Amino acid sequence: MNRYVFAYVNPDTDGVCCAIAYAELAARTRDECFLPVVWGRINRETQLVLSRFGVERPSVINALDGDYRVALVDTHHPQHLPDGLDFDRVVEIIDHHPAGHPEAFAHADLQNEEVGAAATLIVERFRAAALRPSPQVAGLLAAAIISSTLNLKAPSTSYRDQRALDWLRPVVEISEPFVEEMFVALSDTAGLTTAEVLAANYKEFRTGRITIGIVQVEAIDPTAITRRADLPEELRRLAEARPDTAHVFVSIIGMLAQTTTVIAVHAATRELLIRSSGMTFTGDVALVPKILLRKTDFVPALVTLGEQEGPW
Ligand SMILES: [Mn+2]
């Protein structure tokens, strides 16, 4: 029987690093061999982090056959998992996101706690087992916490994230210049068409009876995205290609200025965002003077609104 550990399709740095760290933890605490793998692509920030700490890239796979078991990290959202994955073979989940679907994974031990990074939960497991991660894995975990919390500035950041970083500090210190390098790598969209930027950062969420598609882009300079003249047209095209998706919008996080720029080309979508998150639009654009994350801010607000108002 093969055991795999992975995050959602097209994982971020938290997802990839947690998969690798989980494998080390399972090997050392339970003598179980999990293979960390990736579905989809490994983003530029994650590539930078892996090479910085001298860790080989996990294999990218596109199918699972035979008798296997799976541990999931950084997700328990069925819509974000690969097609064909047998959820009954998921034995463990470590996640930090609200509005997932625990009932879909009947045989899994689920830990879902709302901290800023799944990596924080893995660090706490090492601590609980009185084990230090290897220097490489310590580096990946620290980088994952910094990436997922936008250097402890995202509203989802908790004291546990800070405490986990402090605990790793004797083994690994992430310098400010390296944090900046990570952010630059993450927000590097040069050479991509607007359609490619949207597609690479698009995710769907079910809130009550409807599906909402959200593009979340992290950017050092949000205007690198907002000034793309074809953005409204490409967003419209994306929405038209997803007729079952009730609303589609773009959220651009300004990583340095700590802002969120929301672009919604349909009046009904703007209405929904005004009601759920209280933002103010000028034309298609709303500028919010803080960071709003897709899974921790937008989706829970939409779910709450749906519960209050009934199906839209
Ligand atoms: Mn995460």
CATH architecture of 194-309: Roll (3.10)
Of the candidates 57, 38, 59, 55, the residue with the CA atom closest to the CA atom of residue 135: 55
Find the 168 Cα to ligand 1 centroid distance in Å: 18
Mean pLDDT of 8-14: 95
Find the 246 Cα to ligand 1 centroid distance in Å: 26
CATH architecture of 2-185: Alpha-Beta Complex (3.90)
pLDDT digits (tens, 9 = 90+) for 50-95: 999 999 999 999 999 899 999 999 999 998 999 999 999 999 999 9
pLDDT for 105 equals 96
pLDDT for 131 equals 97
State what percent of residues in the chain have pLDDT above 70: 99
Strands 68-73 and 59-61: unpaired
CA 298, CA 301: separation in Å to the nearest integer?
Answer: 5
What's the pLDDT band for 209 if we cut at 50, 70, 90? Answer: confident
Residue showing tokens 């990583």:
255
Find the 172 Cα to ligand 1 centroid distance in Å: 20
Q: Which residues contact 92 (CB under 8 A, 6 or more apart)?
A: 71, 72, 108, 109, 110
Q: Tokens in use for 68?
A: 């296997």
pLDDT digits (tens, 9 = 90+) for 164-192: 999 999 999 899 999 999 999 999 888 89
251 contacts 281 by C-beta, under 8 angstroms: no
pLDDT digits (tens, 9 = 90+) for 34-47: 999 999 999 999 99
Find the 148 Cα to ligand 1 centroid distance in Å: 5
pLDDT digits (tens, 9 = 90+) for 235-265: 999 999 999 999 999 999 999 899 999 999 9
What average pLDDT does the structure give for the chain? 94
pLDDT for 190 equals 85
Q: Tokens in use for 309?
A: 């108002």
Find the 230 Cα to ligand 1 centroid distance in Å: 30
What's the pLDDT band for 304 if we cut at 50, 70, 90? Answer: confident
Q: Which helix (H) or strand (E) holds 44?
A: helix 44-52
Find the 60 Cα to ligand 1 centroid distance in Å: 19
Check pLDDT > 90 for residue 306: no
Find the 183 Cα to ligand 1 centroid distance in Å: 15
Query: How do the domains of the chain map onto residue ranges?
Result: 2-185, 194-309
Q: Tokens in use for 236?
A: 């419209």
Check pLDDT > 80 for residue 99: no
Find the 265 Cα to ligand 1 centroid distance in Å: 28
Same fold, 2-185 and 194-309: no
Find the 130 Cα to ligand 1 centroid distance in Å: 24
State what percent of residues in the chain have pLDDT above 90: 86
pLDDT for 312 equals 57
What's the pLDDT band for 307 if we cut at 50, 70, 90? Answer: confident
Residue showing tokens 């390296």:
178
Check pLDDT > 70 for residue 311: no
Mean pLDDT of 285-309: 89
Mean pLDDT of 279-284: 96
Find the 287 Cα to ligand 1 centroid distance in Å: 24
